[in-house]
Structure 1
Amino acid sequence: MSIKTTPHQLLLLADHLKLSLLERQRAFALNLEPTKQDAHISRTLNQLQDGLEALEAQAADLDGPEDSTSDLAKARKQYEELYAQFHGQAAPTADLRHPNDPALTDDFAAAQSRPGQGSGRRSAKNVRFRDEPAEEVEDSEEIANRAALFADQERYRDEPAAPDQSIMDNQQIHAYHKQVLRDQDEQLDLLSQSVGRQRVLGIQMGNELEEQNELLDDVERGVDRHTGALDRARKRLGHVARKSKDNWSWVTIGILICILVLLIVLLK
């Protein structure tokens, strides 16, 4: 093997094989298909065999006597028992039902458990259903709460309930309607006052907008004036620049003529 193997690692691999075989036996007991893990178990057996051969070759090179109680001998013995159990040549021994590493004791116990084993069976819980919900017995307090919740006096109304006019005489009915009309008039007066306030606010907002528009017009006129002044100043600067350029041209021509005259005089 390319990776260095120790006897302790081989014993852990043997524990893994033990668990796999115990799960395989458990699957047989539950009438399941245990052959799904056979390829994995076979590969693990081959890995264990390769590791044993590598360690035995190292021990032979060192010429050291192999102690029957050593981890290597123990791993070899467990490999032979696991191989025989997997191929059906022998029944599992007691040593194969216990792990080499005490930390795996719970896993081995779980793998050897059978359905129905445990702290105790749970009592069956029966649930009865009724075809008609009305047959269920309701608590009196629950009925009272439901009646209070859906009572007519608890319902919300946008308008107050009108009195029963069947027990009122003509004068009482007339007085009631006059009172209703007075209440409506008061509400209309309040609504009219509110509309009037809204109208005043609208007029004030309109006046404010007109003033703001006038201010914006003044700003726009000022911007136009300054823009015109800047344009005129730009034109004047351009005119001055052109004149200056023309003047410098005439000065240059005069200087050149003077130089030419001097050259003619000197050459004569």
Structure 2
Amino acid sequence: MASSSPRQLFLLADHLKLSLLERQRAQSLSLPASQQDSHIQRSLSSLEEGIEALDIRSSTEDPNPDLDKLRKQYHDLYAQFHGSAPPSAETATPNDARLSGDFAAAQSRPSPAAKARSKNVRFQQDSEPYRDDPQEAANRAALFDSGSGGGYRDQPEGPPDQSHLDNQQIHAFHKQVLRDQDEQLDALGASIGRQRILGNEMNRELVDQIDMIDDVEAGVDRHMSTLDRARNRLGHVARKSKDNWSWVTIGILIVVLVLLIIVLK
């Protein structure tokens, strides 16, 4: 990393703080935050190299009073990124007061009303295509541009030199990150809405199936009642037939007895 002044290192620390706040915001909104991890790791490496270079200069020149503060901020940011320490008040506070608005935006959570308003605005502006502000586009291009002039690569040869960043470029970059997170949140909300509609349709289908099952069960109950009545009638007829058969048998025996008496006389 090129030689950096304490002011540039404090700006880089603010850039890291904002990146970690946006990463925490994305995680709280169930948005993918891993895409920022490689960028944060390279920024941490740049900050560490800048502090080491400043330490070497301080050992040969006058001691720098900002060195201890930079070291502490680096250790806090490193611990927060790797999950070994929770976010602290210092990592949520900018070194440059002009970035206070960006820090507040990174720690905000969009309300349902704000989401609805943003959707309405997008629907009203469908006829006019969106264009980035030229100044913001130039700032983002300068921010992502590496020392060799190339764009971002998955496996860069080394950490990019970020010592040239100013607060305007940091503001433009993190404003775009927050905008991307809001768009991802809107897409997630639309997906949840579609799943809710599908769930309601499935619920209606289940209700219809339950109604059909209830109708079948009622029909089975009616048939069972009919069968029970038929069985009772059949049993009654069988008992009457049994009683009638006994009387027929007695009558036949009486007739046979009378015939025997007549024959014997």
With normalisation by structure 2, the TM-score equals 0.42
Q: Higher relative CO (CA 8 A, sep ≥ 6), structure 1 or 2?
A: 2
Larger Rg, first or second structure (1 or 2): 1
With normalisation by structure 1, the TM-score equals 0.41
